[in-house]
Amino acid sequence: MALLFLSPDDPADTWRAELQARIPGLDVRTWPQVGDPADIDLALVWRAPPGELGRYPNLCAVLSLAAGIDGLIADPDLPDVPIARMVDPSLTRTMTEYVLLAALRHHRKFDRFERAQRAREWAYAFPPQAADRRVGLMGLGELGSAAARALVAHGFQVLGWSRSPKVLDGVVSYPGRSELHAFLHRTDILVCLLPLTSDTVGILDAATFAELPHGACVINVARGQHLVENDLVEALDSGHLGGATLDVFREEPLPRGNPLWDHPKVLVTPHVASYSVPATAADGVAANIRRALAGEPLLHQVDRARGY
């Protein structure tokens, strides 16, 4: 039995050490030094090259190093085995920090002060109150619900849009497509924390922006394919939207020629909103290795038909 570790972005040696501390003797093979593909039972992956996971005839489960598994299930060669997505306290905490920081930056209009400073302008404005600002989260799952709690604790009015109804202290739940219109109409700062599925691709488009109140801001921390970039630029340039914070892009790294880099109302960050630390995330991964080998259902198992 061996575990394939495949990620260009994660520290393979640290992961091996953390997993072997929990499962002594675990055979971890770091891609591309895999040995005999038939030895591989499990794969721990992020951004696997398309087709790669189809090379392992005895693969019995895929454990994702990411919360979003859209890239994995888009691979037509992915074997029909259970997939677990990443759920980890450090991933949740860092996402919560990012969303709170970005929401506060829009709320307190720091982008305007940054521009004013460059122009040496003393641009006094009365500080707005969080209680007067409505933050709407698209997606109230692991990450969205944690961010919602932090926003509530900070004093914002918080709304959440999800497929099923939610009961979260201080959060007004808007379930399903039929509630999207009402949700958007009441949202001053829109945060996208949806999985990328056939239902949600391109959801941040001109029609959605038109439903938001004048001056609303958009924070996209989910996937670049949720956003129609030209529609965003038009809504910002027309003055309908007040600003955007973008962490994820259709093409990553964002090409140097992309106009988002220079847009005065856009803050670009390089897919850094959150990150799972092996020291904490290895607990869940080790639990899932044991479950997969025992033929038990995985923790945080993905519903492939639903797409998340």
Residue 149: active-site member: no
Asked if residue 67 binds ligand OXD (CB under 6 A), the reply is yes
90: nearest Cα among 150, 143, 50, 14? 143
Exactly one of 22, 93, 263, 271 is catalytic; name it.
Answer: 271
Give the C-alpha separation, 151 to 205, whole Å.
25
In whole angstroms, what is the distance from residue 261 CA to residue 254 CA? 8
Does position 66 interact with ligand OXD (CB under 6 A)? The reply is yes
- Examine the residue annotation and report whether 223 is marked as an active-site residue of this protein: yes
What residues from 134 to 193 belong to the interface with ligand NDP (CB under 6 A)? 139-144, 161-164, 193
Residue 157 interacts with which of ligand NDP, ligand OXD, none, CB < 5 to 8 Å by class:
none
Nearest distance, CB of residue 285 and ligand OXD, angstroms: 13
Query: What number of other Cβ atoms are within 10 A of residue 155's Cβ?
Result: 13
Distance, CA of 170 to CA of 157 (rounded, Å) = 8
Number of helices and strands in the chain (H, E): 9, 12
Applying CB under 6 A, which of residues 44, 67, 232, 254 lies at the interface with ligand NDP? Answer: 67
Regarding 204 and contact with ligand NDP (CB under 6 A), the answer is no
Instruction: Please answer whether residues 4 and 40 qualify as being in contact, where contact means their C-beta atoms are separated by less than 8 angstroms.
Output: yes
**Interface with ligand OXD by CB under 6 A: which range of 65-73, 127-135, 182-190, 202-210?**
65-73
Give the whole-angstrom CA distance, residue 87 versus residue 65. 9
Catalytically annotated residues? 223, 271
Chain residues in the site for ligand NDP (CB under 6 A): 67-68, 91, 95, 139-144, 161-164, 193-197, 199-200, 221-223, 247-248, 271, 273-274, 308
